[in-house]
Amino acid sequence: MSTGIRWILPAREDGTAVARLVNDARIAPWAAEILVRRGLSEPEVAAKFLKPMLRTLSDPFLLPEMDAATARILAAVEKRERIVLYGDYDVDGVTSLTLLTRLLRAYGAEVATFLPHRVDEGYGLSADGVARCVEEHRPQLLIAVDCGTTSVAEISHLRESGVDVIVLDHHEPKDEMPPAVAIVNPKVRSAKRGVRNEEGANDAANHSALRTPHSAFEYLCSAGIAFKVAHALLKRQPIAGFDIKDLLDLAAIGTVADVVPLVEENRIFVRAGLDRIPQSRWPGVRALVEVAGLRAPLRAVDIGFGIGPRLNAAGRLDSATAALELLLTDDPARAQSLARSLDQQNRERRAIEDEVLGKAGAQIIGAYDPAGDAAIVVGDAGWHPGVVGIVASRLLRRYHRPTFVIGFDAMGIGKGSGRSIEGFSLVAALTRCAPLLEKFGGHEMAAGLTMRQENFAAFRETFAQAAREMIAPENLQRALRLDAELRLAEVNLNLLDEHDALQPFGTANHQPVFFTRGVTLSGEPRMMKDKHWSFNFRHARAEGGAIRAQCRGVWWNAAEEILPPLPWDIAYTVSRNEWNGRVDAQLELRGVRAAAM
């Protein structure tokens, strides 16, 4: 909804820095202002941002414990040990397992993959999942991918059973660390973890967890870490004919789907990977592009709303095995069959999601006080654990409050997923609630938990109290942060070209939101499909008093919006509208208000 949203106008930036970028980078002033505002004021830094190059990727051995991890993996390859890649069932986990499996098989390794069952075994290195994995595969080296940083008991048990464990993960550490051979996690400071003493022997006596302050790689997800591991392995032991660039599409898909910041090396992975996806070497990736109806050039949003949900569908409802098989198969016909099956499962997922959303919304109605409630916690028996995260995201967008959605099984065990707003760490809040939880983990903005139903009411109150104390009042009000002011005459194909140079858009590099003051309409607004507004805008006042500069705009899913009297100030993003061979710039509205006089 547009009503009640604060419009936050951009602050004036250093005019000297903006002018230098305009001159050196040959970009428009609005683009230069955005780059300066995002900390990219130096011309050489801005140049790397605008043209991310693979050759600027850093040395992978800068990641913590990479040397120990790659040495142990290559030793296992040489000795023909049984290697098991144990992953998470989301897109980040599945793409990471695929990437590493492709590489290790190129080395000739004996490698198996294992994905836990979401409902029966739960996330990560659970006791049940580890037990089944060991029974099925009898690993000598287990590589935990996208999980394991907090699995002290499970990794201790594996070690006592003679199984070495390497952890490749990006989740937040807790106070105690597991006795793994290596933990390649940018959020863990390995120098004090006690992995190796000065003589190089394993020393598991001291596993104090320390978070690395301002780590250079904290933005990586597990797919990015897996790519860095692959890079490190190939630096140590190259494979004739193996091109690491063939793994970039997998790294890009995992990075976008895991909603990590699209900055620095993530930006390089995604920009390069998007270019490779339509002609991917892997039949499964090409089949996903086809079944999702995508066409080049692809954008990050195509992964987020086209490829990602289909890969996630299997793991949300049952087992992610089909998604992993799709990405690993070399048979195009099999890939097509699996992609169509995942597409159907995604449709089923949406139906279940809508049902849970309706029930969650019914709980909120009448109980939610926007003036006094800083958080939302809903839950009930029978809610499918595979959709609680998506429902939490949708409730967050609707109410702008940190939200947890929890589904309880017949035994009263609940699995929940949370999403947060800017300025509120879910992990910090859950730490306050720890006595009420069986386990929890995640990031500042997204987290998961397991709890008993008898603790639900107490958890809801404790979490709500944490939110009241930790969230600044201004962060509870929706805000529309504007990036640059334009005249309608500036919205053209040249602007779109400069706009596209800022791609890929996502977390920490959001799509610019422009605003224009004092516009009016040519003709009446038109409602499309009873959901969307369509407008033909023109500037009411232009230089010299002439009326010129017209532009088409749409406002998606805005049927309930009340349009104020003209003239308007409008906030919008820009996109290319292609129709009948013609390409035009189009405004996609984010907000409308009566023009400020």
The CATH number for 222's domain is 3.90.1640.30
State which of 336, 356, 386 marks the end of a domain: 336
Would you say residue 583 has pLDDT above 90? no
- Please state whether 337 falls in left (phi above 0), alpha (psi between -120 and 50) or beta: alpha
State the pLDDT at residue 175: 85
Give yes or no: residues 129 and 169 share one domain. yes
Locus of tokens 């104390």: 469
Question: Per the structure block, which two tokens stand in for 146?
Answer: 């996208």
pLDDT of residue 387 exceeding 90:
yes
High-pLDDT (> 90) share of the chain, %: 81
Same domain, 87 and 198: yes
> Quick one: 515 and 444 in the same domain?
no
CATH of the domain at 581: 2.40.50.460
pLDDT at 205 over 70: no
The answer to whether residues 84 and 156 belong to one domain is yes
Q: Which amino acid is at 51?
A: K
Task: Count structural domains, the chain.
Answer: 3
Q: Which of 74-88, 185-199, 553-567 has the lowest mean pLDDT?
A: 185-199
Answer whether residue 61 shows pLDDT above 80. yes
Q: How far is Cα 520 from Cα 61, in angstroms, rounded to an integer?
A: 57
Kindly provide the residue ranges of all beta strands, DSSP E only, lying in 158-204, ordered along the sequence: 164-168, 182-184
Asked whether residue 384 is domain-assigned, the answer is yes
B/e letters for 202-232, b = 16+ CB within 10 Å, e = fewer, are eebeebebeebeebebebbbbbbbbbbbbbb
pLDDT digits (tens, 9 = 90+) for 93-132: 999 999 999 999 999 998 999 999 877 877 789 999 999 9
Asked if 442 and 518 sit in the same domain, the reply is no
Q: Do residues 577 and 547 share a domain?
A: yes
In a domain, 357, yes or no: no
- Could you tell me the pTM of the whole model? 0.88
pLDDT mean over 277-298? 96
Mean pLDDT of 425-437: 96
Decide if pLDDT at 202 tops 70: no
On the question of pLDDT at 306 being above 60, the answer is yes
Last-in-domain residue among 456, 476, 496: 476
- Of the two residues 315 and 252, the one the predictor is more confident about is 252
Among 415, 441, 476, which residue terminates a domain? 476
Angle between the 248-257 and 91-106 helix axes, to the nearest 10 degrees? 160
Which region among 193-207, 321-335, 455-469, 559-573 has the lowest average model confidence (pLDDT)? 193-207
Q: Taking residues 300-317, report their average pLDDT.
A: 92
Q: Give yes or no for residue 145 having a pLDDT over 60.
A: yes
Class of residue 7 by CB neighbours under 10 A (exposed 0-12, middle 13-18, buried 19+): middle
517 and 571 housed in the same domain: yes
Q: Which pLDDT value is given to residue 206? A: 35
Binned at pLDDT 50, 70 and 90, residue 190 comes out as low
- Give domain status of residue 291, yes or no: yes
407 token code pair: 């589904």
Tokens of 466: 């944490």
Distance of CA 583 to the CA centre of its chain: 30
- What CATH number corresponds to the domain at position 433? 3.10.310.30
pLDDT digits (tens, 9 = 90+) for 151-162: 999 999 999 999
Q: 21 in a domain, yes or no?
A: yes
Stretch 34-61: mean pLDDT: 95
What is residue 318's predicted lDDT score, i.e. its pLDDT? Answer: 75
Residue 82 burial class via C-beta count within 10 angstroms: exposed 0-12, middle 13-18, buried 19 and up: middle
Do 404 and 456 belong together in one domain? yes
- Domain around 496: 6-48+482-594
Q: Look at residue 590 and tell me whether its pLDDT is greater than 90.
A: yes
> In this model, does residue 196 exceed pLDDT 70?
no
- Same structural domain for residues 512 and 562? yes
> What is the pLDDT at residue 32?
95
For residue 341, being part of any structural domain is answered with no
Do 545 and 410 share a structural domain? no
Same domain? For 80 and 30 the reply is no
Q: How far does CA 561 lie from the centroid of its chain?
A: 29
Tell me: do 403 and 262 sit in the same domain. no
Residue 487 pLDDT: 93
Nearest to 274, CA basis, from 287, 292, 289, 291: 289
User: In this structure, what are the phi and psi dihedrals at residue 595, rounded to the nearest 5 degrees?
Assistant: -60, 135
Residue 86 domain flag: yes
* pLDDT of amino acid 441: 86
Residue at 489 is within a domain: yes
- The mean of the pLDDT values for the chain is 91
DSSP for 134-166 reads HHHH--SEEEEES--TT-HHHHHHHHHTT-EEE
Domain contains 347 = no
